[in-house]
Structure 1
Amino acid sequence: MPEPPPTADVSTALVTGGSAGLGQVIAATFADAGYRVVLVGRSSERLDAAKQQLDTQPGRDIVTLAGDVGVREDCDRIASTIEDQFGRLDVLVNCVGTSDRGLAGELTADRLHELIDQNVVTTLLCCQAFAPLLESSRGSIVNIGSLAGKVGARYLGGYNAAKHALAGLTQQLRLEWRDKGIHVALVSPGPIRRDDAGTRYRDRTDATLPASASAPGGGTKVKGLPAATVARAVLACAQKRRTDVILPGYLRLLIVLGNAFPRLGDWLLLKFTS
């Protein structure tokens, strides 16, 4: 028998960067919570592979849409497709982003532009394109930040600057769109456990930097977070309309103290990085 057409009464969540890594785990978490999940990425092949993997669990409703969220026309096309096919969007999770390794004193303008485009501009374009649908549903936007958006950790090249910009954009949109009923939140996790932890950035780390710089978080002495822990926090953030979540939670106090007392903050950062 043919599958019944999608119904507009099913809550819909869109996850950018959902074809792999943390984005895929977030997609699975929302699907298990009863959401129809739309995965968005540039590669149709990777999206199909992710859908096949996610569909191994029964009851999940996974849809894929290929597009480049760094291009406004693609974002608008995806928004129109979602409106036509499903009639609603309740949650937007912006999980596209790229980390970096290096010294800020040697950062090139071109590399900084790349990191801003990948971590900030993609989020801005998605928020703008999907805002009308989210206003209709009084939905939530959850942007995936980083502890690097709260402090200036060493050896992360232009990543700190990009994630600080994302944090500012998130708060500004939250204030601007509050009266529209759109909730805009930021989840800022520390290093996330990965199979390639410690080797992912080895080829991109300058030989003048300590070997620990290629490790998660640029060598930060914070225990890696399970991706599932971060995904559950994203789900709770969307459903309970939390504004700013830091993981692990105990670091919030240290960040507050560091911002209030910058010399103490510098001392703490030096202690927490190799």
Structure 2
Amino acid sequence: MGRAAFQQKVVVITGGCAGIGRALALRFAQAGAHLAILDIHDESLVAFRQQLHDKLNADVLAINCDVSDDQACAEAMAQVVEHFGGIDLLINNAGITHRSAFADTDLAVFQRIMAVNYFGALNCTRHALPSLLARRGQVIVLSSLSSFAPLLNRSAYNASKHALHGLFETLRMEVREQGVNVMLVSPGFTATDIRKNALVGDGSVAQATTAMPFKVSAPAEVAEAIYRGACRRKRQLILSNVDWQARLIARFFPRLFERWMVPRLSGVKVRSQGE
């Protein structure tokens, strides 16, 4: 893709210092975009902003923002509009996960996952929307294969991704005639730190990670696919073979899916009848 699609456009990325968010910032900087990166880690924000400036001569606004805080999101979007004049693309990337069975998960964990994954995207979009409407921009939302292929021991995470689809599929229809596009992205397994920072049932951070049973994508691969989707203003992007296989099996062979596919996707060993 050439640089023209996002040259001088203003792109806001939440959770922009690590994983897919970081790769997206690099890709859109290469395309000549002005960037606003939101994250909760001050040192990472400062260092990454300097890297983007030094290596790509990117115009970057770095903002410390907890997306679960509605007032912080309002202030962040106002700061972006004041600095750059408006917003052309909002990428709701910030997210967290957990690994714990429903029965072993404290209510506070459900609330925290929803606060970041669902309300974080809602908060940022609500405050960016007036500018997006004025500039006929677009919203990109990072969902997951779990939005249609639920993972074991991820009930709060799965619920947050389902909620995102309900919200943003409705928003897409409401703003389509006003020139704003909404794209939902469902990546497959990607090599990020989200699993390393997963919560467990009591709200503490997990000390061990589960091995992934499928090929893991690099964040740069996912970012490139999202960039190309944004250039085409697509409405949905499903990014790995695991995703479409899981979706087809879940739809046409639900019992088989629940018995064999869900444990594999979840990194749980499938036991034979003799075990």
Question: AA paired with 1:135?
Answer: L
After TM superposition, give the deviation of residue 103 of structure 1 in Å: 0.8
Separation of aligned partners in 2, 1:187 and 1:270:
23
Which residue of 114, 134, 137 maps to 1:136? 134
Tell me the residue number matched to 2:261: 268
Q: Is the 8 A contact 2:30 2:56 kept in 1?
A: no
CA offset digits 1:98-156 (Å, max 9, x no partner)? 01101123223221111111100000011110001111111111111111222111132
Compute the TM-score of the two structures, normalised by the length of structure 1: 0.84
Separation of aligned partners in 2, 1:235 and 1:65:
22
Matched, 1:228 2:195: no
Pair 220,165 (structure 1): closer, same or farther in 2 beyond 3 Å: farther
Aligned-residue sequence identity (percent) comes to 29
Separation of aligned partners in 2, 1:226 and 1:116:
26
Compute the TM-score of the two structures, normalised by the length of structure 2: 0.84
Pair 198,183 (structure 1): closer, same or farther in 2 beyond 3 Å: closer
Pair 87,100 (structure 1): closer, same or farther in 2 beyond 3 Å: same
Q: Relative contact order (alpha carbons < 8 A, sep ≥ 6): 1 or 2 greater? A: 2
Tell me the residue number matched to 2:30: 32
Kindly tell me the number of residue pairs found equivalent between the two proteins.
256
Which residue of 159, 167, 170 maps to 2:168? 170
Once structures 1 and 2 are overlaid, which stretch shifts more, 27-36 or 47-56?
Answer: 47-56
Separation of aligned partners in 2, 1:237 and 1:189:
13
Q: Is the 8 A contact 2:17 2:39 kept in 1?
A: yes
Q: What is the RMSD computed on CA atoms of the aligned residues? A: 2.5
For structure 2, which runs of at least 5 residues remain unmatched after alignment?
1-6, 269-275
Pair 222,59 (structure 1): closer, same or farther in 2 beyond 3 Å: same
Once structures 1 and 2 are overlaid, which stretch shifts more, 237-246 or 23-32?
Answer: 237-246
After TM superposition, give the deviation of residue 192 of structure 1 in Å: 1.3
Separation of aligned partners in 2, 1:269 and 1:38:
37
DSSP-derived class of the 2:150 partner: coil
Which residue of 189, 192, 211 maps to 1:191? 189
Which residue of 239, 248, 252 maps to 1:247? 239
Separation of aligned partners in 1, 2:178 and 2:92:
19
CA offset digits 1:25-71 (Å, max 9, x no partner)? 11111110111111112343321122123234133222212333222
Q: Which runs of 4+ in 1 moved over 6 A?
A: none
Separation of aligned partners in 2, 1:52 and 1:88:
23
